Amino acid sequence: MNKIYITTPIFYVNDLPHIGHAYTTIICDTIARFNRLQGKNVLFTTGTDEHGLKVEKAAKESQKDPTDFVDEVSLNFKNLSKKLEVKNTDFIRTTELRHKKSAEFFWKKLIDSNQIYLGNYKGWYSVKDESFYQEKELIKKNNLYETLDGSPVEWVEEKSYFFKLSQWESRLLEFYEKNPDFIRPESRMNEVKSFVKSGLKDLSVSRTSFNWGIKIPESPDHIMYVWIDALTNYLTSIGYPKIENDKMNFWKNCIHVIGKDILKFHAIYWPAMLMSINFPLPKSIFAHGWWTNEGKKISKSLGNSIDPNKMIDEFGLDQFKYFLLREVPLGNDGDFSEKALVSRVNSDLSNNLGNLVQRVIKFFDKNFNNTVTHSLCKEKNISKIQKKGYELINIVKKKMEKFEISKALEEIFFYVDDLNKFVDESQPWKSFKTNPEKAAKDLSLLIECFRIIGIILQPYIPNAAKKILDTLEVKESERNFINLCVKFSLRKDHKLNEPNQLFPRHEK
Ligand code: MSP
């Protein structure tokens, strides 16, 4: 399928953006870029979740009108996207009119499908998670109930509309069986299945004790449950309720990237509601893990949030991104520390990649006037290392299809190791004195391999990859994965640019 739609969760505007928000966004941007380089048409949306009690409370605490408050905080998230240089095609805010219309229509569809009834909610609610909990999901600490993640809960009794979630148990389980890749990683699929098997209760989908949200059209004293409002954003962004055919093809190939904490909403509530209004489901949901800060859970009360803006200013955008993508397999939790970042960045980016490229091109510049001396384009005689370079993209593609971004990067850097080994063994600086023809050929070969590396690294560290490709004077139109073959190899007399430093070493 040539069309793909990637979404981040939309972020609550109760607080400043932190590393968790940056992480999800970076993952999506990397996947989006990777697909574009394969020639695919990509929609990539992110945005802000601006309704609900949590946001209303935060506005009150700041002594601001909720409308002004959300405008202000949403801007911080928009700016984060800019700072991360992500190429999203939409930024959606749930306070926009287009979204209100879409969520209202979605609600109407649920009513028309006879999925909603009026009742009374009596139970536990966590404002922090904007989630209802059954008592069996809570623990008691100091005589107070809290969630397993330590979120406080409050007892709520109010009139509420309910969605008939309990009716969808068997159809959900059937769907998971038929679509084993719907929820990934596999461990999360198992988690979801056992949650559904343990029994689903009807879901309270409106609140009456506060005002900040989308009003239920026929009962304006009810505010739509913030999660129904929020999940619909994925449809709003593609034009719901008037989705053109073309956009529908994007939807069928939609990937929701989320954090593991919001799996239940995406993998259970969302598909059940979509099925109930007879709407196709997205293709898959990938739940990533959580970052801790030097071993400690990141929380407002501990004040140990990690500011992505600060990290980027201090260490560089590509460096920050590389660390997050490479350090832990996608799906696992990770521990953030500046020490680990510096060590990863120095060893992989500064030493292995940066030094290699700079050393070779500088020498080439000095001794060969930065001009390729050999065309290495005869398919039959290309060397092992050049061939391996062209094949690398297939290995990387396989990893990316399985969301193994860290492994994809590992494979790319194994190849960088191969190139370093090739330099150590061929020693062009030495052979230059005794056999300049061989040195020239080896260096031309290395430069062609840098072209390969530069193209493959674009989704992960786009700025450094661009620097490499600019130095090699690779045409803009020839930087796609399709150009990773001998046909596009650099030819004799191709002139390079001056080398630039790729990654300064951090001494921290
Ligand atoms: N508004 C909801 C999502 C609605 S999507 C229809 C929400 N917002 S959030 O701002 O609280 O969280 C957004 C994402 O950030 C979640 O996927 C969450 O997992 C992620 N992270 C928040 N803290 C995190 C870490 N410490 N580490 C990694 N990601 C975490 O939930």
Strand-strand pairing, 90-93 and 41-49: parallel
Rounded Cα distance between 80 and 13, Å, is 13
- To test the pocket of ligand 1, the residue of 91, 236, 261, 328 to mutate (highest count of ligand atoms within 8 Å of its CB) is 261
State if residue 323 touches ligand 1 by the CB under 6 angstroms criterion: no
State if residue 23 touches ligand 1 by the CB under 6 angstroms criterion: yes
Q: What is the pLDDT of residues 188-220, one digit of tens each?
A: 999 999 999 999 999 999 999 999 999 999 999
Q: What is the pTM of this model?
A: 0.96
Distance from Cα 3 to the centre of ligand 1, integer Å: 26
- To test the pocket of ligand 1, the residue of 6, 16, 24, 232 to mutate (highest count of ligand atoms within 8 Å of its CB) is 24
Q: How high is the pLDDT of residue 398?
A: 98
State if residue 290 touches ligand 1 by the CB under 6 angstroms criterion: yes
State if residue 10 touches ligand 1 by the CB under 6 angstroms criterion: yes
pLDDT (average), residues 302-329: 96
State if residue 331 touches ligand 1 by the CB under 6 angstroms criterion: no
Q: Name the DSSP letter for residue 355.
A: I
Q: Which atom of ligand 1 is nearest to the CA of 292?
A: 26
Phi then psi for 458, rounded to 5 degrees?
-55, -40
State if residue 326 touches ligand 1 by the CB under 6 angstroms criterion: no
State if residue 9 touches ligand 1 by the CB under 6 angstroms criterion: yes
- To test the pocket of ligand 1, the residue of 84, 258, 300 to mutate (highest count of ligand atoms within 8 Å of its CB) is 258
Give SS3 for 160. Answer: strand
Distance from Cα 366 to the centre of ligand 1, integer Å: 51
Q: Which atom of ligand 1 is nearest to the CA of 297?
A: 26
pLDDT (average), residues 436-464: 96
Q: How high is the pLDDT of residue 311?
A: 97
State if residue 324 touches ligand 1 by the CB under 6 angstroms criterion: no
Q: How high is the pLDDT of residue 508?
A: 64
In sequence order, the β-bridge partners of residue 297 are 292
Distance from Cα 460 to the centre of ligand 1, integer Å: 22
DSSP 188-215: HHHHHHHHHHT--PPEE-EE-S---SPE
Rounded Cα distance between 499 and 411, Å, is 25
Give the torsion through C-alpha atoms of 256, 258, 260, 265, to 10 deg: -60
Rounded Cα distance between 267 and 191, Å, is 10
Distance from Cα 420 to the centre of ligand 1, integer Å: 40
Q: In the predicted model, is pLDDT for residue 84 greater than 70?
A: yes
State if residue 261 touches ligand 1 by the CB under 6 angstroms criterion: yes
pLDDT (average), residues 105-118: 98
Q: What is the pLDDT of residues 15-24, one digit of tens each?
A: 899 999 999 9
> Which has the higher per-residue pLDDT, 303 or 28?
28
Residue 67's nearest CA partner among 211, 230, 205 is 211
pLDDT band, residue 499 (cuts 50/70/90): confident
Strand-strand pairing, 334-336 and 144-147: unpaired
Q: Which of 54-58, 298-302, 453-457 has the lowest mean pLDDT?
A: 298-302
Q: Which atom of ligand 1 is nearest to the CA of 12?
A: 10
Distance from Cα 277 to the centre of ligand 1, integer Å: 27
Q: What is the pLDDT of residues 390-443, one digit of tens each?
A: 999 999 999 999 999 999 999 999 999 999 999 999 999 999 999 999 999 999
Q: How high is the pLDDT of residue 32?
A: 98
Rounded Cα distance between 20 and 57, Å, is 22
Distance from Cα 205 to the centre of ligand 1, integer Å: 21
Q: What is the pLDDT of residues 28-45, one digit of tens each?
A: 999 999 999 999 999 999
Atom 21 of ligand 1 has which residue's CA nearest to it?
A: 20
Atom 7 of ligand 1 has which residue's CA nearest to it?
A: 11
Could you tell me the CA-to-CA distances from 76 to 6, 49, 269, 458, 469 in Å, in that order? 21, 13, 29, 26, 32
Distance from Cα 311 to the centre of ligand 1, integer Å: 19
State if residue 447 touches ligand 1 by the CB under 6 angstroms criterion: no
pLDDT (average), residues 440-463: 97
What's the whole-number average pLDDT of the chain?
95
Phi then psi for 3, rounded to 5 degrees?
-120, 140
Rounded Cα distance between 191 and 186, Å, is 9
Q: In the predicted model, is pLDDT for residue 270 greater than 80?
A: yes
State if residue 47 touches ligand 1 by the CB under 6 angstroms criterion: no
Q: How high is the pLDDT of residue 380?
A: 74
State if residue 376 touches ligand 1 by the CB under 6 angstroms criterion: no
- The answer to whether the Cα torsion of 49, 54, 56, 57 is positive or negative is negative
Q: What is the pLDDT of residues 222-267, one digit of tens each?
A: 999 999 999 999 999 999 999 998 999 999 999 999 999 999 999 9
Q: What is the largest CA-CA distance in the chain?
A: 89
